[in-house]
Amino acid sequence: MRNSIGDQRPFYPRDRALHPPAFTPNYKSTVLRAPQQALLSLESSLSERTGPAFGHGLIGALDNDLIRNYGHGGEAIGQRIVVYGRVLDEDGRPQAGTLVEFWQANAGGRYRHKKEGYQAALDPNFGGCGRTLTDQDGVYSFRTVKPGAYPWPNGVNDWRPAHIHFSLFGHAFAQRLITQMYFEGDPMIRQCPIVRTIADDAAIEQLTARLDRQNTLPMDALAYRFDIVLRGRRSTVFENKLEGN
Amino acid sequence: MLNQLRPYRESASQTAGPYVHIGCTPNQAEITGVWAEDLGARMLQPQTKGERIVVEGIVYDGSGAPLKDAVIEIWQADAAGLYAGPGESRGAADPAFPGFGRQATDGDTGLFRFETIKPGRVPYDDGRLQAPHISVWIVARGINIGLSTRLYFADEAEANAADPVLLRVLDPRRRGTLIAAPAPGAEPGVYRFDIRLQGPDETVFFDI
């Protein structure tokens, strides 16, 4: 199996049916922000098949520990959890050495952001951001507190289910993805207008992390497993013959 | 291995939301002390090769209002037309230029601003040279999946006229949405690139 770093083959076309369309009026912010013209399909060039690489020098020792990376000696309050998983491509190839960024509300459902107005209290020891690089098997992990649900101004009484935002780079700008992770068993997932921008049930399931008792940190934190799939690269029979894969 | 065997499906996109800055530009969002500098905040070093330029602009919604909560990322070749990341096999890119930039739009005005260099030309797969361009990716509240576009330069008219991607945009007026012009009244080297999400001058967005 070919290492995906340095691979130059074009990508599978993005399956737009599993992604949310741009215009989803039940999520009201999309109404003025959704492009109305059709996307122009582009046969990718080097400009899309390359992407930034980030080294281990970028990552600080506490970057993947949201319980401790903001407090000055203190720890964040909340249900302690480890979130981990693999970053793969559509062919199941591990995406090694790729940057994963994450951000979230605190345990009370409050974001540390000046435009945030929810009355739940800030936690002086919780900033809400982290990042890490995947290892050679595509595995990432971080420790945090489970974020709270929170109300938001969309419908009169809409609430976001507990979620963590994820940003992934892969190895090419064409793989760039931002998404959100939800928690298994949360009845609010299917009630959320943002989740419901996705029409495909299986795609929503794929954004739902599983409680994983085998990987809990005993006497410390529960574990949730969340695998992420980025776009994979197309090969052709002709190319296979040439390169013998 | 045939393509039909593709066993996994890409994870679905979700909006970056109104608080994207917490994760992507925390220092700019006043979350300091977690890491020293926001990713992609600084593209230039003194020894970076190439012509210094500034790219600035505003992302407008369908009512003509600036997006004050967006994050813009750019990816570009170095001055010699080489990419810094994996997948570049033609040579080693300038070690003093990462090719990647990320900026939030200003919370009061909506302006974004990148200090970078003018990229060199990169070949298309058929060997034709593309005109100098910068790949642009936009995320924000209300954008369900990141929007991809390209920035070209008005002062590269000859190269633009033969660019294989610009030629795919059949309507010349729409083609113009991809071209940054020198900013009126600004110093030389400052290019204006406004992005319109809707309306008669809607920017061309690509399915890449």
pLDDT per residue over A10-64, tens digit each? Answer: 999 999 999 999 999 999 999 999 999 999 999 889 999 999 999 889 999 999 9
Tracing tokens 């992302």 back to the chain, one arrives at B59
Q: Say which residues have a Cβ less than 8 Å from residue B101's Cβ, sequence separation at least 6.
A: B40, B41, B43, B73, B74, B114, B116
For A206-236, what is each residue's pLDDT tens digit? 999 999 999 999 999 999 999 999 999 987 5
For A65-82, what is each residue's pLDDT tens digit? 999 999 888 999 999 999
Chain B: residue whose CA lies nearest to A243: B1
Catalytic residue among A165, A176, A196, A210: A165
Could you write out the DSSP letters of every residue in B60-118?
E-TTS-B-SS-EEEEE---TTS--SSTT--SSPPPTT---EEEEEPPTTT-EEEEEEE-
Residue A160 is among the residues annotated as catalytic for this protein: yes
B169–A237: do the CB atoms touch at under 8 Å? Answer: no
* A-B Cβ pairs (cutoff 8 Å, strict): 292
- In Å, what is the CA distance from B52 to each residue of A51, A238, B119, B189? 21, 43, 10, 7
Which candidate in A123, A178, A182 is best for mutational testing of the B interface (most B CBs within 10 A)? A178
Quote the distance between the C-alpha of residue B50 and its chain's center: 18
CA–CA separation, A84 and A54 (whole Å): 20
* Residue A174 CB neighbours (<10 A): 25
B99–A52: do the CB atoms touch at under 8 Å? Answer: yes
For A83-116, what is each residue's pLDDT tens digit? 999 999 999 999 999 999 999 999 999 999 999 8
Bridge partners (DSSP) listed for residue A151: A159
CA–CA separation, A132 and A134 (whole Å): 7
List the domains of chain A with CATH numbers.
61-243 (2.60.130.10)
Choices 2.40.50.140, 2.130.10.10, 2.60.130.10, 3.40.640.10: CATH for B16-43+52-196: 2.60.130.10
The residues spanned by each domain of chain B are 16-43+52-196
